[in-house]
Structure 1
Amino acid sequence: MYRSVGFWKRLVAGILDSIIVMLPISLLGMLLFGWEFDSPYSNWITLPYSLFLPVLWKGYIVGKRIMGIRIIKVNGNNVGVGTMFMRLIVGGLVYALTLGIGLIVSAFMVGIREDNRSIHDFIAGTYVTEAKPGEV
């Protein structure tokens, strides 16, 4: 894995994404539609963002772009919709079915493994890198 990214950069990218993208969507939903703050509707709106933006933006989403990291396939190619589906939906199902234990294991994997890959990275055949498009 070329210039793989560890736990802290990935965590900060996720927090930035939550603040910059997810929080405003939730707040708009509350104001416009009366959603509760943790409404499942906001998840259905942010799902296309997480699924399609990395495909269109060479592995970046807003938080990752700010941190200078992106998602790519293990072979160095850019991610596609199928890859992102596996990473988000199938990975999310694994975390849900294990009652969050898989998520904790994944956090340790990203922090401890030399390639910094988590469970959802293995499912989708991806990893997170600091390499710019065309560099890998």
Structure 2
Amino acid sequence: MQAGFWVRLGAMLLDALIVGLPLVILSLLITGGRPYEEYVTNILSFLYSLLVPVFWGGYTVGKRICGIKIRKVQDHSPPGIGTMLLRHVVAGIIYGLTFGIGTIISAFMVGLREDKRSIHDFIAGTEVVHDDFS
């Protein structure tokens, strides 16, 4: 069963609290609070969202807690590094080029479409579903 807007938002907020806050603290420790601390935080956050689903079967910490995961539409396998690059980098470029309008459209797509897929899901050929044991 596809995961809808609210559970995906909840997973994202959990990731921000549980993982994002420690990443900010780690960035402060690494940089000593220098002006480029924000860049280090962004790089660490990007690596987390890119690599953790690859090595953890489609889950992030927030998604695992909420009982949802990313999988490929075609064969229902966990995403690989190429899939996650498409999902984050290419989609991020599109969202940036549309000045955030693409992000708003994606939120509506998840909320209103029957398959609950957003723009980045279509780009990467993925879907976010409830896991088998939730």
TM over 0.5: yes
Answer with 100-109 or 74-83: which moved more.
Answer: 74-83
- Structure 1 unaligned blocks of 5 or more: none
Q: In the TM superposition, what is the alpha-carbon distance from 1:27 to its structure 2 partner?
A: 2.2
> Secondary structure of 1:77's partner?
coil
* Structure 2 match to 1:125: 125
- d(CA) in 1 for partners of 2:37, 2:103: 19
Residue 109 of structure 1 pairs with residue 109 of structure 2:
yes
Paired residue total? 131
User: What is the TM-score when the length of structure 2 is the normalising length?
Assistant: 0.91
CA RMSD of superposed structures (Å): 1.7
- d(CA) in 2 for partners of 1:54, 1:97: 26
User: What code does the residue aligned with 1:86 have?
Assistant: L
Residue 63 of structure 1 pairs with residue 62 of structure 2:
yes
Cα offsets for 1:4-51 (capped at 9, x unmatched): 010000000000000000111112322442056981221111222111
* Structure 2 match to 1:20: 18
Answer with 112-121 or 23-32: which moved more.
Answer: 23-32
> Secondary structure of 2:114's partner?
coil
Seen in structure 2, the aligned counterparts of structure 1 residues 4 and 45 have a Cα distance that, compared at 3 Å, is: same
- d(CA) in 2 for partners of 1:80, 1:122: 15
Q: Which runs of 4+ in 1 moved over 2 A?
A: 35-38
User: What is the TM-score when the length of structure 1 is the normalising length?
Assistant: 0.90
User: What code does the residue aligned with 1:39 have?
Assistant: E
What is the percentage of aligned positions where both structures have the same residue? 52
Seen in structure 2, the aligned counterparts of structure 1 residues 116 and 16 have a Cα distance that, compared at 3 Å, is: same
- d(CA) in 2 for partners of 1:16, 1:64: 8
- d(CA) in 2 for partners of 1:32, 1:84: 26
- d(CA) in 1 for partners of 2:28, 2:21: 11
Answer with 60-69 or 20-29: which moved more.
Answer: 20-29
Aligned 8 A contact 2:27 2:37 in 1: no
Aligned 8 A contact 2:5 2:111 in 1: yes
- The one of 27, 30, 33 equivalent to 2:28 is 30
User: What code does the residue aligned with 1:13 have?
Assistant: A
- Structure 2 unaligned blocks of 5 or more: none
Seen in structure 2, the aligned counterparts of structure 1 residues 115 and 23 have a Cα distance that, compared at 3 Å, is: same
